[in-house]
């Protein structure tokens, strides 16, 4: 494939960022919105084209004779050479998951660009302050995210990983005069930074032993006769494992060095993907404009962790095969997070927070899916995870954009200000409902298929995982419909005096909702296994479809929806009763198990008060005090000996005499004593 379009896919958003960033203030908001959206549209087309070419052209660099999909490095530029082997390159790697991600990112991003034209202005059509900046940042984010998914080596990924972090920081803090937004952006950056520390160290360990940053060198073999084309291969990953066996120390704190490296890298993924206990930034990140939440904190950036694990999946797999714990860690973290987030989501008031916790929970599903994926059952989990990533991006973006429309209409994030909006905002209502059905896993919406695959792969791994995740799926259906009912039903909407009644938003906002609703409904039907599997070998899931599992999960979901309907469809005292029935649990969930308080305690009470302040004190008083003390001592000494210069000649002479005697006498004594 020619490199022009891939390069343009990255260059376009970057140029847009620079253009809008530097000259945005000379443009009117309207024009810059149009430029941004149009630019993103072009990127969208190019991404679709690229994905199309990858999946459907049948070119030998993308698919081999056996029908296995290959990894192709479209272009690769040396960016920074550390040693002979360790080179950071900037390149464009095309393989099933990166092609899939290109589609996801460009789609959602374009939708959000379009949507923001409507969202980022008030009811009178006046554009928000910093509208141009907003589009610049969106472009920056798109650039970074695209660069991340097409990374050819782990360091390129790290670079863009940091860049998405920074653009996320900028976008969360978009309303920078609001202290809560500033705090949230700071929190998001620092928490992910902390996770990235693990990622970085993981990279260092991995690259030190393997001697390379390239994904292809770690997980694939070059295809004979072709330049820059590789096939995923477990043998290469095994080779990496052997390198660790031979070069590295036997173990460190009970785990092998390779496990440590993978777990550390996964730590980076935990940060970005808001896995417990590094999830605390994501709910707060909802302080950003809602389209941003839809794009970054629901659909794309937060799944980067999943993507990272998927990217290195052969290594994880080999590690697990030889008894390493890396994948188990992924599973456990995912499982716990999924349950936790789902429980918390049941109690939140703020609709964006509910969605945020739902996002955490769904990403945890993907993680679990990767974690339970094993060779014995065709690594179904890997495919399921990617599939869920895809569908989740669509329906979660839909939900967020819908929530944005609601918020924009009502002017509040709180569902208590909404209730009964179904009549006022029919389009929003329908699309939101589609999103909820999809996430709850109701056939034939897309969520059903992906979730079913995940549950199947859990089932394949262990019955415990299956039961656990099914329970979480039930909770998912419950809290989503709780939200749905509370927004659109519960009681009639009360319009405050002097306010307009909420209504459907302009076309720029509704059009994306409709498009995404359609996609969310239909995309489950894509035969995903044909396109995305861990080794590129097509896998026909429908052929292995397990109706029992599907039926059970469907039933569970329906039951959960019914319960939610019973409790929240009309105003009734049942929710309050339930709350009173288990107050302790409710309180913990409501307060997110006090994680924020714990972190506040650690950062402020321990790091700031017990480390930083003492160090600063130590520096000012001990180190600096020593230096000043030297000066003081000199001065003191100067005062102490001033009596020598008493002004009295006879004292001078006396000192002189003693000095003269001592000069000879002490020398004599020393010679006498020591020689």
Partner 1 sequence: MNFEFEWNSIMFLIPSLFMFCCGVYGFLTRRNMIAILISLELMLNAVDMNFVVFNRFLYPGQLDGMFFTLFAIAIAAAETAIAIAIIINAFRISRDIDVKDLSKMKF
Partner 2 sequence: MDYSQFLAMKQEIGLLVVFLVVFLYDVFMPRKGVAADGRAYVKGTSLVAVISFAIFTAACFLCPCIYEPASAFGDMYVTTAVAATIKNILNVGVLIVLIQAMRWADSDIQVVRRGEFYQLLLITLFGMYLMMSGRHFLLFIIGLESASLPLAAMVALDKHRHESTEAAIKYILTACFSSAIFMMGLSFVYGLTGSLYFVDIASALSTQASTGLLTIAIGFVMAGIGFKLSLVPFHLWTGDVYQGAPTSVTSYLSVISKGATAFAFVVVMVQVFGQFYTAAWEWMLYALIILTITVGNLFAIRQRNMKRFLAFSSVSQAGYIMLGVIGVNEMALAALIFYVLVYIFSNLAAFGVIQAIENKTGLVDMDSYRGLCRTNPRLSFCMMLAMFSLAGIPPFAGFFSKFFIFTGALNQGSVAMYVLVLIALINTIISLYYYLLVVKAMYISPDECKVPAFKSATSERIGLVITVAGVIFLGLVSCIYDSILALCGVA
Partner 3 sequence: MDSVGSLILYFVVAFAIMVFSVLAVTTRKILRSATFLLFALFATAAVYFMLGYQFLGAVQIAVYAGGIVVLFVFSILLTSQPGDNAKPLASKKRTLGFLGAIAMFVICAWALVDRVAMLVNIPEMEEHTMHKIGEALMGTGHNQYLLPFEAISVLLLACIIGGIVVARKKND
Q: Which residues bind partner 3 (CB under 8 A)?
A: 650, 654, 657-658, 661, 664-665, 668
627, interface contact from partner 2, partner 1, partner 3, none, CB < 5-8 Å by kind: none
Tokens 């259906």 sit at which residue? 477
Does 555 contact partner 1 by CB under 8 A? Answer: no
Ranges within 402-461 binding partner 1 (CB under 8 A): none
> How far apart are the C-alpha atoms of 473 and 207, rounded to whole Å?
38
Shortest Å, Cβ 634 to partner 2: 6
How many residues are recorded in the chain? 675
CB neighbourhood size of 234 (10 A):
18
Of 226, 210, 200, 213, give the one whose Cα is nearest residue 318: 210
Pick the closer one to partner 2 by CB: 612 or 658: 658
Does 642 contact partner 1 by CB under 8 A? Answer: yes
Ranges within 655-674 binding partner 1 (CB under 8 A): 657
Does 57 contact partner 1 by CB under 8 A? Answer: no
Pick the closer one to partner 2 by CB: 547 or 639: 639
Pick the closer one to partner 3 by CB: 602 or 657: 657
Does 654 contact partner 1 by CB under 8 A? Answer: yes
652, interface contact from partner 2, partner 1, partner 3, none, CB < 5-8 Å by kind: partner 2
225, interface contact from partner 3, partner 1, partner 2, none, CB < 5-8 Å by kind: none
Q: Where are the beta strands (DSSP E) in 196-321?
A: 220-222, 229-232
Of 405, 391, 406, 409, give the one whose Cα is nearest residue 452: 391
Contact letters for partner 1, residues 586-625 (x by CB under 8 A): ----------------------------------------
Among 598, 606, 653, 669, binds partner 1 (CB under 8 A): 653
Shortest Å, Cβ 622 to partner 2: 21
Pick the closer one to partner 1 by CB: 629 or 665: 665
Shortest Å, Cβ 635 to partner 3: 28
Burial class (CB in 10 A: 0-12, 13-18, 19+), 563: middle
> How far apart are the C-alpha atoms of 94 and 59, rounded to whole Å?
13
81, interface contact from partner 3, partner 1, partner 2, none, CB < 5-8 Å by kind: none
Shortest Å, Cβ 668 to partner 3: 8
DSSP per residue, 335-388: HHHHHHHHHHHTT-SBHHHHHHHHHHHHHHHHHHHHHH--GGGTTHHHHHHHHH
Structure tokens at 308: 């990272």
Residue 500 DSSP SS3:
coil
Among 547, 573, 648, 672, binds partner 1 (CB under 8 A): 648
- Which DSSP symbol is given to 508? H
Shortest Å, Cβ 669 to partner 1: 20
Shortest Å, Cβ 628 to partner 2: 13
Among 573, 647, 659, 664, binds partner 1 (CB under 8 A): 647
Pick the closer one to partner 3 by CB: 227 or 650: 650
Does 227 contact partner 1 by CB under 8 A? Answer: no
Q: What's the per-residue H, E or C state across 73-100?
A: EEEEEEEEECCCCCEEEEEEEECHHHHH
Phi, psi at residue 117, to the nearest 5°?
-55, -35
> How far apart are the C-alpha atoms of 428 and 488, rounded to whole Å?
10
Shortest Å, Cβ 648 to partner 3: 9
Shortest Å, Cβ 645 to partner 1: 5
| Cis before 277 (ω within 30) | yes
**Segment contacting partner 1 (CB under 8 A): 162-170, 411-419, 623-631, 648-656?**
648-656
- Which DSSP symbol is given to 607? I
Of 402, 396, 386, give the one whose Cα is nearest residue 358: 396
> How far apart are the C-alpha atoms of 291 and 296, rounded to whole Å?
8
Alpha helix segments (H runs only) across 24-153: 29-56, 96-119, 131-149
Residues of this chain that interact with partner 2 (CB under 8 A) are 634-635, 637-639, 641-642, 644-645, 647, 649, 651-653, 655-665, 667-668, 670-672
The bridge status of strand 229-232 relative to strand 87-94 is: unpaired
> How far apart are the C-alpha atoms of 350 and 335, rounded to whole Å?
24
Pick the closer one to partner 1 by CB: 125 or 647: 647
Shortest Å, Cβ 636 to partner 1: 15
Shortest Å, Cβ 664 to partner 3: 7
Shortest Å, Cβ 655 to partner 2: 5
Residue 276 DSSP SS3:
coil
Does 649 contact partner 1 by CB under 8 A? Answer: yes
Tokens 């309180």 sit at which residue? 587
Among 225, 494, 650, 671, binds partner 1 (CB under 8 A): 650
Does 246 contact partner 1 by CB under 8 A? Answer: no
Please list the residues that pair with 221 across neighbouring strands: 231
Shortest Å, Cβ 143 to partner 2: 52
Report the interface residues with partner 1, using CB under 8 A.
Answer: 642, 645-650, 653-654, 657
């Amino acid at each position: 494939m020619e490199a022009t379009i891939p390069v343009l896919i990255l260059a376009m958003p970057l140029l847009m960022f620079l253009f809008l960033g530097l000259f945005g203030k000379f443009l009117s908001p309207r024009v810059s919105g149009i430029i941004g959206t149009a630019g993103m549209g072009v990127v969208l087309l190019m991404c679709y084209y690229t994905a199309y070419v990858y999946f459907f052209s049948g070119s030998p660099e993308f698919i081999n004779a056996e029908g296995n999909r290959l990894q192709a490095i479209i272009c690769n530029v040396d960016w920074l050479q550390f040693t002979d082997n360790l080179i950071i390159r900037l390149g464009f790697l095309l393989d099933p998951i990166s092609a899939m991600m290109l589609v996801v990112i460009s789609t959602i991003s374009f939708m959000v660009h379009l949507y923001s034209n409507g969202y980022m202005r008030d009811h009178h059509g006046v554009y928000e302050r910093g509208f141009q900046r907003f589009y610049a940042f969106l472009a920056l984010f798109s650039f970074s995210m695209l660069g991340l998914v097409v990374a050819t080596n782990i360091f390129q990924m790290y670079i863009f990983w940091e860049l998405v972090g920074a653009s996320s920081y900028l976008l969360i803090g978009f309303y920078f005069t609001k202290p809560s937004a500033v705090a949230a952006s700071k929190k998001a950056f620092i928490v992910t930074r902390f996770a990235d520390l693990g990622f970085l160290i993981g990279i260092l360990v991995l690259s030190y032993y393997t001697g390379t940053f390239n994904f292809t060198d770690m997980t694939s073999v070059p295809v004979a006769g072709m330049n820059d084309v590789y096939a995923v291969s477990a043998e290469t990953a095994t080779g990496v494992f052997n390198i660790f066996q031979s070069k590295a120390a036997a173990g460190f704190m009970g785990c092998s060095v390779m496990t440590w490296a993978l777990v550390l890298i996964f730590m980076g993924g935990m940060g970005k993907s808001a896995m417990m206990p590094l999830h605390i930034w994501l709910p707060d990140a909802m302080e950003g404009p809602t389209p941003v939440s839809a794009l970054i904190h629901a659909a794309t950036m937060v799944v980067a962790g999943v993507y990272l694990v998927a990217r290195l999946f052969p290594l994880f797999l080999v590690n697990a095969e030889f008894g390493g714990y890396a994948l188990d860690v992924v599973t456990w973290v995912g499982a716990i997070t999924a349950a936790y987030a789902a429980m918390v989501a049941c109690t939140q008031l703020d609709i964006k927070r509910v969605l945020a916790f739902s996002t955490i929970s769904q990403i945890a599903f993907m993680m679990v899916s990767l974690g339970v994926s094993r060779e014995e059952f065709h690594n179904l989990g890997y495919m399921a995870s990617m599939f869920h990533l895809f569908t989740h991006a669509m329906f979660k973006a839909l939900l967020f954009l819908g929530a944005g429309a609601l918020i924009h209409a009502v002017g509040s994030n709180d569902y208590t200000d909404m209730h009964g909006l179904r009549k006022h905002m029919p389009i929003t209502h329908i699309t939101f409902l589609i999103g909820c059905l999809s996430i709850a896993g109701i056939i034939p919406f897309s969520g059903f298929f992906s979730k079913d695959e995940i549950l199947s792969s859990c089932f394949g791994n262990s019955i415990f995982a299956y039961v656990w995740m099914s329970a979480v799926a039930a909770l998912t259906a419950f809290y989503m419909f709780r939200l749905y009912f509370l927004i659109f039903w519960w009681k009639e909407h009360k319009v405050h005096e002097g306010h307009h009644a909420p209504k459907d938003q302009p076309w720029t906002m509704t059009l994306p909702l409709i498009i995404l609703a359609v996609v969310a409904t239909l995309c489950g039907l894509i035969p995903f296994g044909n396109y995305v599997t861990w080794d590129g070998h097509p896998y026909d899931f429908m052929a292995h479809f397990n109706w029992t599992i599907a039926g059970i999960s469907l039933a569970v979901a329906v039951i959960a929806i019914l319960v939610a309907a019973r409790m929240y469809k009309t105003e009734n005292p049942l929710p309050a009763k339930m709350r009173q029935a288990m107050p302790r649990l409710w309180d913990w969930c409501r307060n997110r198990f006090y994680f924020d308080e714990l972190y506040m305690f650690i950062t402020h009470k321990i790091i700031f008060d017990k480390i930083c302040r003492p160090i600063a004190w130590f520096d000012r008083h001990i180190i600096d005090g020593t230096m000043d003390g030297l000066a003081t001592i000199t001065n003191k000494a100067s005062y102490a000996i001033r009596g020598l210069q008493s002004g009295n000649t006879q004292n001078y002479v006396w000192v002189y005499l003693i000095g003269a005697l001592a000069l000879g006498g002490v020398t004599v004594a020393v010679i006498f004593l020591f020689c």
